[in-house]
Structure 1
Amino acid sequence: MAATKPSKLRFNCYLIRSSVLSWEHALRPKYRTGGALALLPIAPSASAPPNAIALPGQPSEKIPRWAQDLNSQFPGLSAVTNTSNRMVIFLPVKNRTFAVCFGYGSTALEWESIESNFGLRVAARNFQADDLTELRSRRIDASARTQSVQVPVGGELKDLGVNLEGEFVRKLAGRVESTGLTLDGSVLAGDSIAFKSTTELVTVQQTLANMLTSVEESEAQEGFEFVDALEPLRSNEDVSVRLDQRLVEEILQQGNRDETEFETQIVEFAPPDDVRMDEVDEIIVQNGRRTAVLTEFSIAALRAALRDLNTRVTTQILKSIQLVPTDTNGDPVGQQTSLRNWLIFEVGNVTERYVLTLGRWFRLQESYTEKLDYDLSRIDDLTSSLGLPDTTDSEHEKDYNARAASQLAGTVLLMDRILIKTEDGDRVESCDLLHHDGHLIHVKRYNGSQTLSHLFSQGAVSAQLLRGDEVMRTHFIETVTASDVRFAAAANSAPRIVTYAIALKDSKDLPTGLPTFSKVNLRDFAKQLRQTGVTPTLARIRERPS
C-alpha cells in the first residue's frame, strides 16, 4: 500500500517589526480585543508550537457590485453574496514573530507593524537568476515604466533583456533550492514570503528561522543588489516627514532650496500602475471643492494647476489633493488617488539618497551607493585632455556641436545629424563629434534621466554596430574620409573609445552627482562597451547661465 503524502498548504508569512509591543499591536484597531471585528484566539493543542496564537475571523458576506447594478434587469441577483474568511497565526521564530495569514488574513494587519520587503530580501539571498519565473517592478526614473514579466520554463530574465538594476521590485516568484531552504513548488516574495509546506507548524517555523538567518547573516546574490538596497521607510519616521516637506517645496517651488539638506535629483509627474495614459484625455486635480484640469501631463503643468488652486505649502496636500484620470467622455479611466501616488522624486546629499515612487519612500543603502560610485570611478574623465568648449543653458545641442567643431577644427570633426547606412537598411548617427584620436563623442545636456538614458544607449549601439556591421563601418569610413581626410585614421581605428560628453551646471558632479538610475544606466552601458573591446570615457561640458 502506497504511503499517504503529507498534506500541504501555502503559508503567507509577514515578519513583525521587533519594535511592536505585542501581537495585538500588529492588528488594525478594529480587529483587536474590543474592536468591532475583534479576532478571538482559539486554544491550541499540544502539537502546536509553544506560544503560537491562532486568530480566526468570523465569515463576512457582501453583495457584489455587479449583482447590485444588474438586479433591476435580472431580479434576484441582489441575493447573491460573496463570503470572505480570514485567519492569522502569530508564530514565534527565534527571537521574532511572524504573522502567517490565510484567506483575507493580511487585511487585518497594521501595515506600519510589518517589516516591508522581507520576502524580497529572502529572495535576493536565495534565488538564482535561472530560478525566477515571474517579476513585477517599476522603473525608478522619469519613464516610471511598470513591467510584469513571466519567464518561460528553462528561460532566464537576462534572456528577456530584464535587468533588476534601477527597478523598484514588488514581486518575485520562482523556485528556491539553496541549502536549508529546499521548498516544494514556487515561492512568492514581496513584503511577505509565501511558500508551500506540510501543515506541521514546527516545519514552517524552521523554514522561517532559516530565512531569518539568511537575511541576517548573508549578502544579496549578484544581480539582486539593487533589490536589497532599497529600504522602505515608515510614514511616521522623522526622515519621512522631512522628505515630504522637501517634496512639497520642490513641487510648489517654495522655500529656500539652496539651503536644504537634500538636493533634488529627479522630480517627475508619473501615473500610478492602474492608469493607461493612452486612454487618458484629461486629469482632474481636486483640492476640496476646487478643481483644475490637466491636458498636458508634466510636472510643469501640475505646478501650474496647483498654483491655480492656491495650494498651501503643507505636507497635507500630498494626501488631500486627489487626481482623477478621465477619457474623452469625461468618464474615469483609473481610480481617484492622492497626489503623492503621481510623483517620482529622488533627493540626496553626499552620503544619503532617497526615492519616492508609487507613494512610498525608500532609502538607498549607503553601501550600494558607495559601490556604484566606485564602479563609475573606473571610467576615465577626459574633460581636460579633450578641451571641449563651454556652453550656455540656452544653447541648442545642434548649435553647440557645430561651434565646438569650428573652434576645434582639425581636432574634432562634426558628425551630428550625418546618417550612416547599416546592413538592414536603417540609417543611424555614429556620433556627434569624431576626435582625431579616434574618440566617438556623444553630446547631451543633462536635463533628466531619460535624456541620459538615450545618450548612453546611443553610444553603446553605435559602437556595437561599427564593430559588427560591415556596411555601416565601410560607409562610416567613406563618409569621414570624404569630409576631412585628416580623420581617415581615426575612422579606421574606431570604435576604440566612446566618450559621453555631458553638459552640467557647476553645482553637479560628474558622474557622482547624477540621479541613481542614470548612474546605474551608465555603469551598465560602460560594462557593455568593455565587453565589446571599447573603452568608455566621460567628459564634462561646463554649462554657464545665458
Structure 2
Amino acid sequence: MTVRTLNIRLLREGRDIERAFTDTFAPNAGRALQRGPWELIEGATVFVGQIYSNPPKWRSFIEEGSNEIPDEIFTGGAGAVIFVPIGARFAAICFGHIHIALNDDAFERQFGLKVTLNSVPGSNIRSLDLATPDAVTFQKRVQASRDSDVNAFGVDRLRDVARVAGGTPKDPSFARFVAGKDSLSITCELDINDVQKKCNEIFKVYEKTDYKTDFKWVDNLRPVIEKDLIEQLDEKLFVDLGELRKGNPVDLHMSPPEVANYIEGSELHYNGFGSHGATFHSLAITDYISELNRCKFTGDIKEIKEKHRISAKPSDKDQFSEKWKVYDCFIHEASLTSKTDTLYFILFAGNWFQVEALFKDSVNKFFDEIDTVNIIGKTVAHNEQELIANLVATRAADLLKLDREKINPAGVRNANLEPADFLSDKKHFIHLKDGHSSGPISHLWSQGIVSAEAFVGDKEFRKKLRSIVKSEKKGFEVHLPKSTERVVREKYTIVYGIMRQPYADGTLGLPFFSKVSLQVSVERLRKLGFDVAIELIEKPASSAGVRRGRTSSVATSEEAGGKALAKS
C-alpha cells in the first residue's frame, strides 16, 4: 500500500461538472482543458491542461546585461482534476495549479475543515488558523510541534472563527494526517484502485457531526463566501433600504468599518450618487436615507456597493482623510428560510456572517440579562468630550471626574492607566465611550477589565488613586479602600456607559459583535468578583448642514425627503 497525499474538494449539491470551472477554462471556452474519462472509475472524468505560461518576471532584468536569453524560457503551471462520482455528488481530486481554473462558488465551503474536525479529536490538533471579527478583524495561525489539545491554542470560543485546522485522525486507517479549509489535504495509505472507496469514506466523515463534541463553537460564526448566497442577502438588504426610504422602521444602522480618527462633531460627506454639498456631523442611517431620497437615487444594490462612498474629516483638519464604502458601514441582520430550516446572517464591516441560531439567541439573552442603570440619562451632548464636560458642570455632587487621570501600576513606567471616566458616590467605576462604531466600544470593554484588575491586585495603584481622589474632592476618598485594606469587590460596580443614537425604530442597542465581545468582558469581571452594569446613553440624532458656496443652512427632514424617518 502506497502512502499518498491528495487534495480533494466537494462539488456543491445540484452543480454539474461543466459549471465547476471559471469562464476562461469552462468547456467550449477559449482555454478549455482537455477532457476525457478516467478509466479506473466508472463515470469519473478528468480535465487536464496548461493553466498558465508566461515569460518570467526576472527576464527583463537579465536582458539588461545579456542578449543570450533563449526565447523559449517561460514559467508555467499545469493542472488536472478528476471528478469522482460518490452517489449523486462528485468529489474533485485536484493536482498542480488547477485551483486557478476552478470556480470556487461551485464547491462546498469548509468541506476540508469539517472533515478534519469530524475525524480529529480535540487532543490531536497540530495547526489552527483563527479569525476574530470585530471593527478590526484579527487573524492568527497557531502551530504546535506535535499533536496538542485544542485548549492550548488560545481559542476564544465566543468570538473566534475557525479558518483552517490540521491534525491526526483518531482512526489511523482513515488517514495519517488531515488538514483543510474549503479543500481537504489527506495523507493516507491508498491503492490506486481504491480511490473511489476513499472518496466515499471522506464524504461519510463530512456528513458526521462528531465535531460538535470538541469543536461545537465553530458553528457560531461562519464567513459567507458563496457569491449566490451573498447576492440573496444583498437583495434583502436592498429591500430593507427601500422600506427605510418609505419611512418604515427597519433594524439597519451604520458604523465605521474600522477604528476611526474622527469624532462626532466632525464632518461627513456621502458621495457617489449626486450628494454634493451636504455636510453631516455623524454617521447615521437616517442621514444616508435622506440623501438617497433628496437626490432621487434609482440605482440598485450593485451600484451602492461599487460607487457609494463616505468621506470624513476631524474638526481640526482641513482635508477629508477617512474614506469608506457605504456598504462596509452597514450593520444589518437577515434571515433566509428554507423548507427545513431558518438561517441567520449578520452584515458587518462589508462581510456577511452566518450566525448559528442558538448562539445568536444565547448572546442576546446574556446581553438582556446584564444589569442596566440610569446614572447619566439621555444627553444633549454629541460626543464623549461634551458629555464629560456637561457632567462635570452638573453632577459635581455625586460624580468625580477621573478622565485623563493616568496612573502607572507598580513596577511599570509610562503605562498611563486611566482608572475610569468617573467615580460615583455609589461606588460605580463609570467608563464612557461615544459608541459610533464597534472599535471604540470593544476598546471600552478592555479598559474596564484592565482598570478593575489593577484596582484589585495593585496596592500602589490603589494608593495613587485614593490620593488623586482626595486631592480633587476631599472626603470623596472614603468611597475607596486604603492601599493596605482588602478590596470588598462586591461593593463596587463596573459601569459601561455607551453613547448611541437611536435606531430607526427609536430603540437603543449595540452591534451584535459588540455584544459578543462584551459577554467575554462581563464574564471576566464577574470572575474577579465585581458587579457589572451597562447604560445605553441616548444622544441627539444627526443633523445636516447643507453648504453651497459661502452660505450654509440646515436641511429640514422634509427637504431631505425623510419626514417619517425624522420621527423614528
TM-score by length of 2: 0.70
Residue identity opposite 1:9 in structure 2? R
Paired residue secondary structure (1:544):
coil
Paired residue secondary structure (2:58):
helix
- Of residues 55, 59, 64, the one that matches 1:67 is 59
Aligned alpha-carbon RMSD (Å): 4.4
Please tell me whether the aligned partners of residues 84 and 92 of structure 2 are also in contact (alpha carbons under 8 angstroms). yes
Question: How does 1:124-163 map onto structure 2 within 5 Å?
Answer: 126=120, 128=122, 131-135=125-129, 137=131, 139-143=132-136, 145-153=137-145, 163=156
Please tell me whether the aligned partners of residues 452 and 518 of structure 1 are also in contact (alpha carbons under 8 angstroms). yes
The match for 1:326 is: none
Residue identity opposite 1:18 in structure 2? E
Q: Deviations over 1:352-386 (max 9, x none)?
A: 543266x7544334332112112323422223xxx
The match for 1:197 is: 188
| Equivalent-residue separation in structure 2 for 1:544 and 1:449 (angstroms) | 19
Residue 520 of structure 1, CA deviation: 1.6
| Equivalent-residue separation in structure 1 for 2:39 and 2:58 (angstroms) | 40
Q: Higher relative CO (CA 8 A, sep ≥ 6), structure 1 or 2?
A: 2
Cα distance, 1:454–1:129 mapped onto 2, change above 3 Å? farther
The match for 1:34 is: 28
| Equivalent-residue separation in structure 1 for 2:370 and 2:34 (angstroms) | 59
Residue 528 of structure 1, CA deviation: 1.7
| Equivalent-residue separation in structure 1 for 2:334 and 2:26 (angstroms) | 42
Paired residue secondary structure (1:428):
coil
Cα distance, 1:163–1:544 mapped onto 2, change above 3 Å? same
Is the aligned partner of 1:120 residue 2:113? Answer: yes
Residue 430 of structure 1, CA deviation: 0.9
- Of residues 335, 346, 362, the one that matches 1:371 is 362
Please tell me whether the aligned partners of residues 435 and 441 of structure 2 are also in contact (alpha carbons under 8 angstroms). yes
Question: How does 1:46-445 map onto structure 2 within 5 Å?
Answer: 48=41, 50-57=42-49, 61-68=53-60, 70-75=62-67, 76=69, 78-93=71-86, 95-123=88-116, 126=120, 128=122, 131-135=125-129, 137=131, 139-143=132-136, 145-153=137-145, 163=156, 165-166=158-159, 171-178=163-170, 183-185=175-177, 187-200=178-191, 201-202=195-196, 204-215=198-209, 218=212, 221-227=215-221, 229-235=222-228, 239-242=232-235, 245=238, 256=245, 259=248, 261=250, 263-268=252-257, 313-317=299-303, 343=328, 345-348=330-333, 352-355=344-347, 361-383=352-374, 387-394=375-382, 396-404=383-391, 407-423=394-410, 424-425=412-413, 426-445=415-434
The match for 1:543 is: 539
Q: Deviations over 1:81-110 (max 9, x none)?
A: 223221112223355322221112223323
Please tell me whether the aligned partners of residues 50 and 76 of structure 2 are also in contact (alpha carbons under 8 angstroms). no
Residue 317 of structure 1, CA deviation: 4.0
Paired residue secondary structure (1:430):
coil
Residue 208 of structure 1, CA deviation: 1.3
Residue 518 of structure 1, CA deviation: 1.1
Cα distance, 1:479–1:57 mapped onto 2, change above 3 Å? same
Cα distance, 1:488–1:442 mapped onto 2, change above 3 Å? same
Q: Which moved more, 1:213-222 or 1:202-211?
A: 213-222
Cα distance, 1:122–1:219 mapped onto 2, change above 3 Å? farther
Cα distance, 1:39–1:236 mapped onto 2, change above 3 Å? farther
Alignment gaps of 5+ in structure 1: 1-5, 272-286, 288-297, 324-338
Please tell me whether the aligned partners of residues 52 and 92 of structure 1 are also in contact (alpha carbons under 8 angstroms). yes
Please tell me whether the aligned partners of residues 355 and 364 of structure 1 are also in contact (alpha carbons under 8 angstroms). no
The match for 1:23 is: 17
Please tell me whether the aligned partners of residues 504 and 542 of structure 1 are also in contact (alpha carbons under 8 angstroms). yes
Residue 460 of structure 1, CA deviation: 0.5
Q: Which moved more, 1:80-89 or 1:256-265?
A: 256-265
Residue 80 of structure 1, CA deviation: 1.5
Paired residue secondary structure (1:367):
helix
Q: Deviations over 1:194-223 (max 9, x none)?
A: 221233314532441243222599577254
Residue identity opposite 1:74 in structure 2? S
| Equivalent-residue separation in structure 1 for 2:454 and 2:431 (angstroms) | 15
| Equivalent-residue separation in structure 2 for 1:181 and 1:343 (angstroms) | 47
Paired residue secondary structure (1:224):
helix
Residue 527 of structure 1, CA deviation: 1.9
| Equivalent-residue separation in structure 2 for 1:354 and 1:444 (angstroms) | 24
| Equivalent-residue separation in structure 2 for 1:406 and 1:495 (angstroms) | 30
Residue 539 of structure 1, CA deviation: 1.8
- Of residues 478, 488, 497, the one that matches 2:478 is 488
Alignment gaps of 5+ in structure 2: 261-271, 273-281, 310-323, 336-342, 543-568
| Equivalent-residue separation in structure 2 for 1:367 and 1:94 (angstroms) | 32
Q: Deviations over 1:491-533 (max 9, x none)?
A: 4646542111112233389999322221121111112212222
Residue 241 of structure 1, CA deviation: 4.1
| Equivalent-residue separation in structure 1 for 2:13 and 2:508 (angstroms) | 35
Cα distance, 1:255–1:388 mapped onto 2, change above 3 Å? closer
Paired residue secondary structure (1:443):
strand
Please tell me whether the aligned partners of residues 270 and 342 of structure 1 are also in contact (alpha carbons under 8 angstroms). no
Paired residue secondary structure (2:36):
coil
The match for 2:524 is: 528
Cα distance, 1:61–1:428 mapped onto 2, change above 3 Å? closer
Is the aligned partner of 1:460 residue 2:456? Answer: no
| Equivalent-residue separation in structure 2 for 1:146 and 1:481 (angstroms) | 41
| Equivalent-residue separation in structure 2 for 1:218 and 1:161 (angstroms) | 18
| Equivalent-residue separation in structure 2 for 1:42 and 1:14 (angstroms) | 19
| Equivalent-residue separation in structure 2 for 1:417 and 1:468 (angstroms) | 22
Q: Kindly tell me the number of residue pairs found equivalent between the two proteins.
A: 478
Residue 266 of structure 1, CA deviation: 3.3
Cα distance, 1:223–1:382 mapped onto 2, change above 3 Å? same
- Of residues 482, 500, 505, the one that matches 1:504 is 500
Paired residue secondary structure (1:524):
helix
| Equivalent-residue separation in structure 2 for 1:534 and 1:179 (angstroms) | 46
| Equivalent-residue separation in structure 2 for 1:299 and 1:80 (angstroms) | 55
